[in-house]
Amino acid sequence: MDTLLHYTRYLHILAGFVGFFVAPVALVVRKGGAAHRRWGQVFFWAMMLAGSTAIFIATFKGLTFLLLTGIFSMYLAVFGYRSLYHKRLAQGKARPALLDWLMVSIGLLIFGGTIVYGLVAGMVPSIVFGGVGVLTAGRQLRAFLQRGPWPAGQWLLNHMSGFVGAYIAAISAFSATSLHFIPWPWNFLWPTLLMVPLLVWAQSRYKARFRQGTQPAELVEVRIQPEMA
């Protein structure tokens, strides 16, 4: 088992580094273009590998912080990726699939429990991760329950939130466990304090354009994803 954990740790580190360097590439190229999709997929699978290996290692080593980071980063990455399949919801041509309801339900249960655990154990990361997770899943549930088509571009804003959020979680985990020269809790919080305002600023610009009647296809290359149950 020690040998398996040893190699799993190296796999986790490799996946984390791939995601760390690939995400900025996906952000700077044309949104929706071939390069954006290619590097976005690499980032997504890197986060899946980093998250799953983190959960595996944390389960056997009893590392709660690593466990929470793995779950959180995977959830947000799936949230961002799954948002690409919600373009039809904005057109009023589809309803949320069973996978969407399952994901939201599981997310609310896991992150709600994470908040409770953080409050009982006095763990700031648990409270932060759980709070952001509940807000993300709750906002998605509210969108699924509303009648009529989604606002124009909502799927795009969700896509941005999910992938950037997963990237923030990955950097936060690396910083909290490796950058010991930064005092706690700032070594955990600085990625959020730095990147969330940039995300909010970018989304506000898109929202302003959408309110003016601009369609997502005028800003990014839009391809309707195939149905996915």
Residue 41 lies in a domain: yes
pLDDT tens readout for residues 24-81: 998 888 888 889 999 999 999 999 999 999 999 988 887 877 888 888 889 999 999 9
Q: Which residues neighbour 120 within 8 Å (Cβ) at sequence distance 6 or greater?
A: none
pLDDT tens readout for residues 155-209: 898 999 899 989 998 898 888 888 889 998 888 889 988 998 999 999 999 999 9
Residue 224 lies in a domain: no
Residue 223 lies in a domain: no
Q: How many CB atoms lie within 10 A of CB 151?
A: 14
- Which amino acid is located at 158 in the chain? N
Rounded CA gap, 90 and 143, in Å? Answer: 11
Residue 98 lies in a domain: yes
Residue 226 lies in a domain: no
Residue 88 lies in a domain: yes
Residue 108 lies in a domain: yes
Residue 106 lies in a domain: yes
How many independent structural domains does the chain possess? 1
Q: Please tell me whether the overall predicted TM-score, pTM, comes out greater than 0.75 for this model.
A: yes
- Which amino acid is located at 54 in the chain? A
Which structural domain, as residue segments, surrounds residue 88? 2-218
pLDDT tens readout for residues 102-123: 989 988 988 898 899 889 988 8
Distances (CA, A) of 139 to 92, 144, 145, 158: 18, 9, 10, 10
